[in-house]
Amino acid sequence: MDHVEEKILSIIDAHAQEIQALADDLFQHPEQGYHEYRTAKVVADFLRKLGMEPREGLAITGVKASIGKEGGPNLALIGELDALACPTHPSASPEGYAHACGHYAQLVCMLGAALALSDPEVAASLDGKATFFAVPAEEFQGAAVREEVLQSHDVHCIGGKCELLRRGEFDDVDLAITTHSLMVDRDSGADLVLGNNACNGFVGKTVYLHGRAAHAAAAPHLGINALNAANLGLSALGMIRETFQEKDCIRVHPYIRKGGEAVNIVPSEVVVDMMVRAATQQAVEETSAKVDNCFKGAAMAIGCEVDIVNSQGYMPCPERLPDQVMWDVAPLLGEGVRVQPIHSGSQNTASTDVGDLFAVMPVLNFTFGGSTGDLHSKDYKVSDPNTAHIIPAKMMALMAYRLLKDGGAQAKAIVDDYQAPYTKEAYKAYVKKISG
């Protein structure tokens, strides 16, 4: 461990109480994606106190500030601002949002890392830039919420990172460091799991079935029952599941958002929302087309009209085994910290807009323990604040320092080696094609 690394660790330890208080405050104030105004202000104020001049209001609520030198690699340390709809969570807001995915802890890690890296001596040792980037709206939101956001703001993408990529806010970033509460290995007992499991990508789909209202008892023969068409479409969807191949890890999960108007009226307007997920974009597209056929066929059988609206989802994440820099810095966290790599080959069937970052740049990810209960459930809570807030802050800061020291050699090697599926401009063209 060199002198700067010792300093990074001692700064974070010295501010542990402040970091924990920040964690409590953010956890107690969960906000919906693209509505994280209070959370964003807390982040911006914190960065300002450290002497930075953050840009605010990026894709509505994003906050971004950099330290270090021009000319070297620019690393983004990412924290997600949003909570998710989980009204049964004991810490849910009056609107029903809760930090049941631990995103507030990512912000705490990012700000803890900012505390250490902005120390004048530490900052002077960085041969490149560390950019602290709090991003909105990681959780894919309900269709009604999506429609409101897309209509009331100049937002084209549902994922905050996708929208920021579209707006060019990642144009100056070469490499991203992300972290998350443990996902795949929640029962492993690990404090840190290094690397990124492959994740599914998806497309959002809304099926609008238009029938004809009529008296449900006196004159059902005059109606066209859109709910029956929805049921038939869902049955067809069940029947095509035998064509889903294990290797594609397909998940199609619908719910009926609107099922009719009243009990004595033949349902005339029915809306089915769903996500179509798979391990590759090709499998997403093929499955999406099959699902469309289910509802088109059902609509034809019942005599309904059908409109199907697909919305841009998130791209699949590739597996990324731990980079050497993670193995190098993890032992500096102390002997008691239990560290393990991801299980290679296991697929996370959930999705994240980090997949869209992977499309254009290398992403170094690790996950952290210290929490119990399932993600996205009322039972999720942090049980060990040191493991959930302090250890990952140190990990982020140490990684950024190692990547940027000595002329930024390690960061440059990773960036040069990475085969991005898209250039940033090609990604923007892809979004324009799908989302306008």
Q: Which residues, 69 to 108, sit near Zn ion by CB under 5 A?
A: 101
Evaluated on CA atoms 52, 57, 59, 62, the torsion sign reads: positive
Minimum distance from residue 191 beta carbon to Zn ion (Å): 18
Nearer Cβ to Zn ion, position 101 or 271? 101
Q: Tell me how far CA of residue 226 lies from CA of 273, 301, 302, 321, in angstroms.
A: 14, 11, 8, 48
Nearer Cβ to Zn ion, position 101 or 256? 101
Q: Which residues, 182 to 221, sit near Zn ion by CB under 5 A?
A: none
Nearer Cβ to Zn ion, position 174 or 356? 356
Half-sphere exposure of 164 (CA within 13 A, CB side): 32
Nearer Cβ to Zn ion, position 59 or 101? 101
Minimum distance from residue 343 beta carbon to Zn ion (Å): 19
Minimum distance from residue 34 beta carbon to Zn ion (Å): 15
Minimum distance from residue 349 beta carbon to Zn ion (Å): 14
The residue with tokens 């094609």 is 433
Nearer Cβ to Zn ion, position 43 or 404? 43
Nearer Cβ to Zn ion, position 78 or 325? 78
Minimum distance from residue 376 beta carbon to Zn ion (Å): 8
Q: How does DSSP classify residue 217?
A: T
Residue 281-320 contact track with Zn ion, rule CB under 5 A, x = bound: ----------------------------------------
Minimum distance from residue 383 beta carbon to Zn ion (Å): 18
Measured at CB, which residue is nearest to Zn ion? 101
Residue 101-140 contact track with Zn ion, rule CB under 5 A, x = bound: x---------------------------------------
Pairing of strands 129-135, 339-341: unpaired
| Type of residue at 57 | G
Nearer Cβ to Zn ion, position 66 or 106? 106
What CA–CA distance (Å, rounded) separates 105 from 40?
14
Evaluated on CA atoms 227, 228, 231, 232, the torsion sign reads: negative
Phi, psi of 85 (to 5 degrees): -70, 115
Minimum distance from residue 158 beta carbon to Zn ion (Å): 14
Nearer Cβ to Zn ion, position 101 or 123? 101
Total of chain residues touching Zn ion, rule CB under 5 A: 1
Question: Could you please report the per-residue DSSP string of 249-295?
Answer: T-EEEEEEEE--S-TTB---EEEEEEEEEESSHHHHHHHHHHHHHHH
The residue with tokens 């499309």 is 359
Q: How does DSSP classify residue 66?
A: E
Nearer Cβ to Zn ion, position 191 or 353? 353
Instruction: Give the residue among 7, 118, 74, 4 at the shortest CA–CA distance from 408.
Output: 74
Minimum distance from residue 380 beta carbon to Zn ion (Å): 10
Does residue number 382 form part of the binding site for Zn ion (CB under 5 A)?
no
Minimum distance from residue 105 beta carbon to Zn ion (Å): 10
Counting other chains too, the contacts that 333-338 makes at CB distance below 8 Å and 24 or more residues apart are 333/192, 333/391, 333/394, 333/395, 333/398, 337/191, 337/192, 337/391, 338/189, 338/190, 338/191, 338/192, 338/369
Sites of contact with Zn ion (CB under 5 A): 101
